[in-house]
Structure 1
Amino acid sequence: MEDLQIYIYTFLAAFVGVVPPGLVNMSVAKTCLEKGKRNGTFMAFGASLVVFFQALLAVLISKYIFSNPYVKSMFLKAGVAILILMFLYFLLSANRKKTQRTIKKRTGTKSFFTGILVSGLNIFPIPYFVLIGTLLTNNFKITFTIYNDVFFALSAALGTFTTLYLYIIFIMKIDGKTELFKKYSNYFMAALMLVLIIITIARLYNM
């Protein structure tokens, strides 16, 4: 029964957590548009693999992070630095002159590792799953053994992949109507990074 509780609550938390537009799901959508469904799926696999380790780390250090404001602050400061770099990258990419070129079919390996990189740069799942793990412990009296830790992380990864795959299906179904997104995708990503920077800085000042 405890295993089922962990699976349901963690899966739903991961599923819902990836629904709002963010770095990972928008990157997967962009990859689908530029390189096709197969590459988008490989990228989703890579991103979900990272979430597995992020969730595992989160549940292992949940009590320590909440009892140590300095560690929490360092996580957020690192997040701001990464987001600023991503903002500059997408802004420069959007302003780069585009030439007409044929999209090459690539193996999914590069997209898989791109998913790992993008998801690794996104540190927000760690505090999110720290919160989920703490709520499960305090509100549902769940004891996190090593087995439950791994099960928690696996549920988080599966929930994340499910949402990302639904993004892929949605994007491929409206492929003929996405020229605007293709044209301005880098501007959209830059704007998203800027919003996340502002939110993170606000959280730092309100700690």
Structure 2
Amino acid sequence: MQQLGILLVFTFGAAFFASLPPGLLNMNAAKTSVEKGKANGVIFGLGVAIMVMLQTYLAVRIARFLMRNPDVIGMLLKIALVVFAVLAVFFFVKAKKLDSQPLEIVASKKRNSFSKGLFLAAINLLTIPFYSGLNTIFHAQGFMDYSVIDEVVFILAAGGGTFLAMYLYAFYFNKMERKTNRFSKNSNYILSVLMIVLMVITSIRLFNQS
């Protein structure tokens, strides 16, 4: 039970913080809320969350397949280490640049909010490798053993964390619009720290394998 709790909290937190920095999905959630009402903004966020859960399911299947090939794990961990390092630098630099860059809502045509959420989330190509890598790290640390309940918790937590971020943008963007640059910068710093933590975990795992 404790393992499931750790898996739930870590996955939910990773999904939430990964969805916080202003981007295509959350800015469209805010725009939909402003143009068509908060209910439509929430429906848009629901579409995003459901697509993220589908992508997370695929990420789990990919990670599970790779785990059956032990010879590949070392190489994957090394690749993950490089990816986390690059992402840590990326989010840190992005946070630094926010002071000089105005934040804009992404323009989009009005259409069914739910299907728009599904579509925009589907074209976000980073979701599958992100959750596949996260899944691999959790398995290596013993948080996940690919039982049905572990997979369900991981998938639902990924969708739940994403939906909470979309919900906050849909309901509170107007109130926090003046503070968005600071909010975004802090979120990017948090993500940068998260990537560093994952780097440390991955490095320890590689050291133990050698």
What TM-score range do you get, normalising by the shorter chain? 0.5 to 0.7
Partner of 1:153: 155
- Residues 112-127 of structure 1: pairs in structure 2 closer than 5 A: 112-127=114-129
Report the CA distance shift for 1:141/1:162 in structure 2 as closer, same or farther (over 3 A).
Answer: closer
Q: Which runs of 5+ in 1 are unaligned?
A: 73-92, 95-105, 178-207
8 Å contact from structure 1 (residues 60, 149) kept in 2: no
Q: Which runs of 5+ in 2 are unaligned?
A: 80-106, 179-210
AA aligned to 1:41 is: V
Q: Could you tell me how far 1:144 is from its partner in structure 2?
A: 1.3
Say whether 1:110 aligns with 2:112: yes
Q: Could you tell me how far 1:146 is from its partner in structure 2?
A: 2.2
Partner of 2:39: 38
TM-score, length of structure 1 as denominator length: 0.60
- Residues 90-101 of structure 1: pairs in structure 2 closer than 5 A: none
AA aligned to 1:16 is: F
Partner of 2:166: 164
CA distance in structure 2 between the partners assigned to 1:134 and 1:54 by the alignment: 15
CA distance in structure 1 between the partners assigned to 2:176 and 2:154 by the alignment: 34
Runs of 4+ deviating beyond 6 Å: none
Q: Could you tell me how far 1:35 is from its partner in structure 2?
A: 1.4
- Residues 1-16 of structure 1: pairs in structure 2 closer than 5 A: 1-16=2-17
CA distance in structure 1 between the partners assigned to 2:133 and 2:149 by the alignment: 19
Let me know the Cα RMSD of the aligned residues: 2.8
CA distance in structure 1 between the partners assigned to 2:5 and 2:53 by the alignment: 18
**What per-residue deviation string (whole Å, max 9, x for no partner) do you get for residues 30-61 of structure 1?**
21122121111100001000111111111111
CA distance in structure 1 between the partners assigned to 2:120 and 2:158 by the alignment: 17
CA distance in structure 2 between the partners assigned to 1:116 and 1:48 by the alignment: 8
SS of corresponding position for 2:112: helix
CA distance in structure 1 between the partners assigned to 2:34 and 2:141 by the alignment: 42
Identical amino acids, percent of aligned pairs: 32
- Residues 1-207 of structure 1: pairs in structure 2 closer than 5 A: 1-62=2-63, 64=65, 67=72, 110-173=112-175
SS of corresponding position for 1:143: coil
AA aligned to 2:141 is: N
Q: Could you tell me how far 1:6 is from its partner in structure 2?
A: 1.2
AA aligned to 1:142 is: M
SS of corresponding position for 2:22: coil
CA distance in structure 1 between the partners assigned to 2:137 and 2:34 by the alignment: 38
CA distance in structure 1 between the partners assigned to 2:128 and 2:164 by the alignment: 19
Report the CA distance shift for 1:30/1:142 in structure 2 as closer, same or farther (over 3 A).
Answer: same
Q: Could you tell me how far 1:64 is from its partner in structure 2?
A: 4.9
Number of equivalences: 141
**What per-residue deviation string (whole Å, max 9, x for no partner) do you get for residues 52-102 of structure 1?**
111111111125569599xx9xxxxxxxxxxxxxxxxxxxx79xxxxxxxx
